[in-house]
Each structure stands twice: as structure tokens, then as C-alpha cells.
């Protein structure tokens, strides 16, 4: 048995080295990314361990991991100020020496020349690699990756800087792993739902879940406002796994109905971008309590400029009046956090920024600023569309960060619903639009 409740032949472990993680100064985002990549090629991650850059801890972690896994990934501990300990320790574990690699050294030197910085001895040392390793050349940084085969087991050692690690994985490691023996087909089918809680979803689909065959497993992956459903299947034939999970996904989609957003692992932002791009629709945002977070979520996506005209972050009433044309009378009579203000913000953005759709959010994110009538967590959201303006009140909690996140997701979901209401019927008839 394995994480997904299905079995495979090839199991990996990830060891991250460095006190930054143990002291809580950085969050380990590398392991999740690596796990996704490995899963996609049928290698399951059995365990992730974070240890300090202290020789004995590193050696114990390597020993335990190599006893449990078929392949071991090590990240971190290779930066210029700390690679001494890690590399020395690895050379003890792998019973080999260190050599200075001329190709890596030339690369490190060229990086320093290009940026006109003088090169220091600690930078030169970056070119020292394990004698018994094959270098995984790092084009994006000074610390090379290393592939060591020790007692017939592969160990992949990479720097901890995320974009350097990702480059080495994508360009050097994954292509080789795909050819390793023992990678049995594993298939994930992920679906996106919104506006329904995890337990209700579970109850709604309990009989479908109970009837799953033993080689297919269902997981619930909740986030604020959204729940992802993931089917994991393992077997001999990838084609069979794909068609089996698709059939179950169809059953789930039908059962879940309007809360079923997508039959793939995607996000609301991506769905919206693609939907609006296809119809050449333009979007703008008018944000108060979300402070630019909705604009950020959209513009994080490549290609968002084709649908996103821009937005206003109107924290003050003056900005609401001037950029969005909210009436002073509305602000005085109903307040900045009100249905009326939200609707005027949305309409103002739609008109002033000359777009097809506009999202507006106004609320009290907290932790201060609440009253009995308008408590922290109260949020009004309005979306202006082709034919109407829809508005809705939400009452979230007390945590500022979570309120911002939930408001953003709720606003994007309202936009998604309105887009579907106003366009889906015409979906097959583009010329009529």
C-alpha cells in the first residue's frame, strides 16, 4: 500500500537539508512540487523528511530512507555559505572523495564575469562535486546537482533554490527517471468543485465512493471555498486506467451538478481566463478589502493580458468615488461596506474601464474595523455582466488573510457563474455572440 491506497513498484523519498525549514524561516515548497512531478510518472513519494545540516542527522536520514525507498532525493544544503558540511557528509556516506569539476567551474566563473562581480573562493568551491557522482549541470545557478548510484540505488542531490531545483528536475532528472525499470502506470484524475463543503460532498457521493474498485482511490483536497476531488488509479495499462477513472468522473460530475466546476485539475482563474479568451471578453476588478489580490490571482497567469484590462484598488472612499464613480450619497447612507456600494463599484469599473465584466469586493477583512452591525468578516461582492449585476453578502471569519482569500475565491466563483449563465447557452454558436 502507498499514499494513494494503491500499490506501485517504485517508491521515492525526499530529504530536505537545512535548518531554515526546521527553524520555520522558510516553507518547504520544493517537496510538494517534486512529489507532483514524480507522481505523474508513476513514482510515489513514501515519505518526506526535513533534517538539519548536521552530519549525523543527514547520515541517519539517508540510511533510513535508503532502507525504505527505491530512489532518494536530497535537496538543500548546497548554497555557497553552507555546502561544505553537506558535501563532506555525503562523501562520507557514499564513501568517495570530492573533485573540482572543470565544466561547472567554468560555468560559475562565467556567471560572475557576466554580472561583473569578483569571484570568491566560496564561489569556486561550488564546483566541487562527489567523486562518484554524475554532474546534473545547473544552468540557472552556481550549485550543481549530482546523481549518485550507491549500492545499486539512485540518489539525486540538488540545490534547494526552487527554480534551480525545478530546472535540474525537468531538464536532467525526469527524462532519465521515465526510463527506469519498475515505474508502473499510475493515473490521477482531478476534478474541481466549489460552493459545497467537504463533508456534504462526501455524503452526496458516498455510494459512488463505496463502489470504487480496490485499485482506484478517491481523495478530498479542500481549500478555502473549493474542494478538489482526486481519483488515483494504478494498474498495468494506462489506457484502461484513463477510461476507468473518466467513467467515474462522469458519474461524479452528474451527481455533484452545479457545484462541479471542471473535470481537470485547474483553477477558477484559469477557467475564467480561457472562457473569456475564447469569447474575446474583457474583465476589470474593483477591490477594497481584497486589496489587489483578485487582480494578482488573474495576472499570475500567463496570457492574462488578453482578458484583463486592469483594476482599481480603492481602499479609501475618495478612490471609490473618483475611480469608480461611487456616489458620496451612497457611501454616506449605506456605508462603504454595503450592497449598494458594491454594485456601484462593479458598474463603475465596467463603465469607466470599458470592459464586459467587472468584479467588485468591499468588506471588513479585520482584525479591527468591525461593529455590531457590520462585523469583521462581512463582505459584499458584486459582479457586473452583460445583462445584469449580481450581488451577494458573505459572512466570513476573523482571520484577515483567510477573509481575503475566501472573498477572492467567492468573487471569482460568482463571476464564473454569471459567465456561464450569460454565455454557456451560446457556447456552440460563436457567430451569434
Binding a copy of itself by CB under 8 A: which of 7, 37, 88, 417? Answer: 37
Q: Among the candidate windows 145-153, 236-244, 363-371, 378-386, which touches a copy of itself by CB under 8 A?
A: 363-371
Q: In the window 166-205, what residues touch a copy of itself (CB under 8 A)?
A: 188, 197-200, 202-203
- The β-bridge relationship of strands 128-130 and 71-75 is unpaired
Query: Whose CA is closest to 61, among 44, 73, 49?
Result: 49
How far from chain centre, in Å, is Cα 356?
29
34 binds a copy of itself (CB under 8 A): yes
Q: H helices of 137-192, where? A: 162-168, 174-177
Q: Are 350 and 384 in contact (CB under 8 A)?
A: yes
Q: Which residues of 18-39 are buried (b: 16+ CB within 10 A; e: fewer)?
A: bbbbeeeeeebebbeebbebbb
Is the CB of 308 or the CB of 416 nearer to a copy of itself?
308
117 binds a copy of itself (CB under 8 A): yes
CB of 403 to a copy of itself, least distance (A): 11
* Contact flags string 313-332 toward a copy of itself, x per CB under 8 A: xxxx-xx--xx---------
Q: In the window 244-303, what residues touch a copy of itself (CB under 8 A)?
A: 285, 287, 290-296, 298-300, 302-303
Binding a copy of itself by CB under 8 A: which of 150, 228, 273, 343? Answer: 228
311 binds a copy of itself (CB under 8 A): yes
Q: Among the candidate windows 69-77, 215-223, 233-241, 255-263, which touches a copy of itself by CB under 8 A?
A: 215-223
Q: Are 292 and 366 in contact (CB under 8 A)?
A: no
The span from the CA of 138 to the CA of 117, in Å, is: 19
Binding a copy of itself by CB under 8 A: which of 123, 184, 266, 351? Answer: 123
Is the CB of 202 or the CB of 390 nearer to a copy of itself?
202
Q: Among the candidate windows 47-55, 146-154, 172-180, 385-393, which touches a copy of itself by CB under 8 A?
A: 47-55
Dig out the grid coordinates for 125 from the structure: 568551491
402 binds a copy of itself (CB under 8 A): yes
Q: Are 143 and 150 in contact (CB under 8 A)?
A: no
404 binds a copy of itself (CB under 8 A): yes
Binding a copy of itself by CB under 8 A: which of 47, 88, 251, 420? Answer: 47
- The β-bridge relationship of strands 186-194 and 216-223 is unpaired
Q: Report the chain's C-alpha Rg in angstroms.
A: 26
Amino acid at each position: 500500500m502507498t499514499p494513494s491506497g494503491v500499490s506501485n513498484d517504485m517508491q521515492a523519498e525526499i530529504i530536505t537539508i537545512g535548518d531554515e525549514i526546521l527553524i520555520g524561516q522558510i516553507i518547504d515548497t520544493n517537496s510538494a512540487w517534486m512529489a507532483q512531478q514524480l507522481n505523474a510518472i508513476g513514482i510515489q513519494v513514501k515519505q518526506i523528511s526535513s533534517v538539519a545540516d548536521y552530519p549525523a542527522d543527514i547520515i541517519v536520514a539517508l540510511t533510513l530512507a535508503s532502507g525504505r525507498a527505491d530512489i532518494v532525493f536530497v535537496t538543500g544544503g548546497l548554497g555557497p555559505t553552507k555546502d561544505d558540511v553537506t558535501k563532506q557528509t555525503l562523501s562520507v556516506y557514499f564513501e568517495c572523495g570530492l573533485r573540482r569539476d572543470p565544466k561547472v567551474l567554468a560555468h560559475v566563473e562565467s556567471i560572475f564575469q557576466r554580472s561583473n562581480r569578483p569571484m570568491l573562493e566560496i564561489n569556486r568551491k561550488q564546483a566541487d562535486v562527489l567523486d562518484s557522482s554524475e554532474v546534473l549541470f545547473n544552468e540557472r545557478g552556481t550549485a550543481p546537482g549530482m546523481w549518485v548510484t550507491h549500492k545499486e540505488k539512485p540518489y539525486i542531490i540538488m540545490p534547494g533554490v526552487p527554480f534551480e531545483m525545478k530546472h535540474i528536475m525537468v531538464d536532467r532528472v525526469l527524462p532519465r527517471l521515465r526510463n527506469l525499470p519498475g515505474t508502473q502506470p499510475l493515473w490521477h484524475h482531478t476534478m474541481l468543485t466549489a460552493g459545497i463543503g467537504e463533508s456534504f460532498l462526501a455524503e452526496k457521493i458516498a455510494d459512488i465512493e463505496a463502489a470504487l474498485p480496490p485499485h482506484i482511490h478517491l481523495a478530498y483536497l479542500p481549500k478555502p471555498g473549493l474542494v478538489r476531488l482526486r481519483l488515483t488509479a494504478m494498474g498495468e495499462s494506462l489506457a484502461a486506467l484513463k477510461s476507468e477513472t473518466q467513467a467515474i468522473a462522469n458519474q461524479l460530475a452528474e451527481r455533484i451538478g452545479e457545484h462541479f466546476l471542471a473535470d481537470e485539475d485547474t483553477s477558477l482563474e484559469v477557467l475564467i481566463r480561457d472562457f473569456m479568451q475564447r469569447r474575446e471578453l474583457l474583465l476589470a476588478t474593483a477591490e477594497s478589502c481584497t486589496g489587489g489580490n483578485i487582480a494578482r490571482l488573474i495576472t499570475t497567469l500567463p496570457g492574462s493580458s488578453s482578458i484583463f484590462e486592469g483594476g482599481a484598488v480603492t481602499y479609501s472612499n475618495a478612490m471609490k468615488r473618483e475611480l469608480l464613480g461611487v456616489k458620496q450619497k451612497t457611501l454616506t447612507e449605506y456605508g462603504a461596506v454595503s450592497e449598494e456600494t458594491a454594485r456601484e463599484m462593479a458598474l463603475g469599473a465596467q463603465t469607466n474601464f470599458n470592459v464586459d465584466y467587472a468584479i467588485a469586493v468591499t468588506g471588513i477583512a479585520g482584525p479591527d474595523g468591525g461593529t455590531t452591525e457590520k462585523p469583521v468578516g462581512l463582505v459584499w461582492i458584486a459582479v457586473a455582466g452583460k445583462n445584469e449585476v449580481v450581488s451577494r453578502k458573505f459572512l466570513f471569519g476573523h482571520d484577515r488573510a483567510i477573509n481575503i482569500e475566501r472573498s477572492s475565491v467567492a468573487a471569482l466563483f460568482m463571476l464564473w457563474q454569471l459567465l456561464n449563465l450569460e454565455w454557456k447557452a451560446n457556447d456552440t454558436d460563436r457567430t451569434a455572440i
